[in-house]
Amino acid sequence: MTTPVTRLKPRPQPVCLARATGDPASPRSAAAARGLAGAARLSQSARAPAPAPPPRPGGALNRDRLCGSGPLLRGLAGWKRAAVASGWRRPGRGTGTRGVERRRARPRGRKAKEIINTARENLAKMIGGQPQDVIFTSGGTESNNLVIQSVVKHFHKVHATNGDTGGHPSPVDGALPHIITCTVEHDSIRLPLEHLREERVAEVTFVPVSKVNGQVEAEDILAAVRPATCLVTIMLANNETGVIMPVPEISRRVRALNQQRAAGGLPGVLVHTDAAQALGKRRVDVRDLGVDFLTIVGHKFYGPRIGALYVRGLGEHTPLYPMLFGGGQERNFRPGTENTPMIAGLGKAAELVAENGEAYEAHMRGVRDYLEERLAAEFGERIHLNSQFPGAERLPNTCNFSIRGPQLQGREVLAQCRTLLASVGAACHSDLGDRPSPVLLSCGVPVDVARNAIRLSVGRSSTRAEVDLVVQDLKQAVARLEGQA
């Protein structure tokens, strides 16, 4: 007797709209192919990349392209790599004798160094800086901490004894270094500063953002400056609202203030911006920003999950001290064996942004605007766009919104969605539960509205057809929650 075989129907593929987007044309797009080619040049014996897997059954949607490479709206947390550094054969590794491998290792080592230098040049080109001012790190958290620790250490070194005034006491002798930031910064800025304040190593001022435009005002930053102020750190774009901060104006006014401070023997104030969210979505140029430090995060612009730090006039104009001690890599500023394949991928991702940034921005803005039009058409006055502020520029891919209703908390709505994969806010605040986002509350969004927030971010390959699918999914989810379906 033959046992019948039960065949399960394939589940529909989800559409991920909330924190990342997909690669430009396909799961193995031309951009990805270029990235792989760049990494493969590390070694003549590099393996060819594996062929793309066949499409999964049961879904017309391209899940790779939608979901982060994710489906449509996950672009702020990270993207699937468009510049994958894989298929790389480690220098000196092979089947020959040890002597042969040693001879091979030397040219391969030089080739690896060339790849690192090329990646450094591509990053510098992307941000309008100089290659010698770029240091590779493990990611944005390390870069941000490196800036904070370096500035605090430099302040203590210069002003702990007799200052820098030729043996005469400094006007800030005995004072703790003072750092200014704002209330909507990423945790990798906020938490280190809170720790330094708790340990009484530094004093910190958190300047609130405007409830009118969601920005920190340059005037408020300048008003917070003290004699012992040594650093202003303000993100370039907020990771929940997408609002662009007035970093160029802040830098310009700080430079003017530094001229006055120098005459009185006060320390100069350095300016840092965490550009993680802005890179790959809008033009970023350190010459226009006027900053001393800029944080780079690879997975925010389709690169691998490593990062870099730009330091203007590294070691000459702007101080930087290592947090780690070991080998002499990265000119001793960041010792440790380089992750060459990941650096290669980061460099390729930066190259793509430098070449195609304007096209990426225009495409994302068009799809995002269409998304907001469709939300307004379906939900009418029930929609509150949390990321739209009068007079404030925002990222081209970000849409943070709430659907008004007592049962429509963001998490509940997303739990009812059948195809949409999204988030209610920043990945680093995923432990908030049902509590509303502190960032939205700081920006003046009412508590009941902030509790219903959903953050969607489109990407390079997001389409209007995907937007239509997502909006329909949201409409049905709301109907189920309200007992209409």
Residue 23 gets which letter from DSSP? -
Residue 61's closest CA among 463, 424, 370, 365? Answer: 463
How far is residue 154 from each of residues 160, 177, 231, 321, 397, measured CA to CA in Å? 10, 9, 11, 8, 38
pLDDT for residue 158: 87
pLDDT for residue 363: 98
SS3 332: helix
Is the per-residue pLDDT at 53 higher than 60? no
Question: Domains of the chain by range and CATH?
Answer: 112-351 (3.40.640.10)
Segment 338-371, tens digit of pLDDT: 999 999 999 999 999 999 999 999 999 999 999 9
pLDDT for residue 430: 55
pLDDT for residue 36: 37
Is the per-residue pLDDT at 462 higher than 50? yes
Residue 361's closest CA among 218, 242, 192? Answer: 242
Task: Write out the catalytic residue numbers.
Answer: 428
- Check if the beta carbon of residue 383 is closer than 8 Å to that of residue 376: yes
pLDDT for residue 160: 67
pLDDT for residue 458: 96
Sheet with strand 229-233: strands edge to edge: 134-137, 307-311, 293-297, 270-274, 229-233, 178-182, 203-207
pLDDT for residue 427: 57
Segment 235-259, tens digit of pLDDT: 999 999 999 999 999 999 999 999 9
pTM assigned to the model? 0.81
What DSSP line would sit under 433-445, residue for residue? Answer: TTSPPHHHHHTT-
Is the per-residue pLDDT at 325 higher than 80? yes
Label residue 429 by pLDDT band (50, 70, 90).
Answer: low
Is the per-residue pLDDT at 162 higher than 50? no
Average pLDDT, stretch 201-215? Answer: 98
**Lowest mean per-residue pLDDT among 23-27, 333-337, 433-437, 462-466:** 23-27
Higher pLDDT, 448 or 4: 448
Average pLDDT, stretch 431-441? Answer: 83
Label residue 92 by pLDDT band (50, 70, 90).
Answer: very low
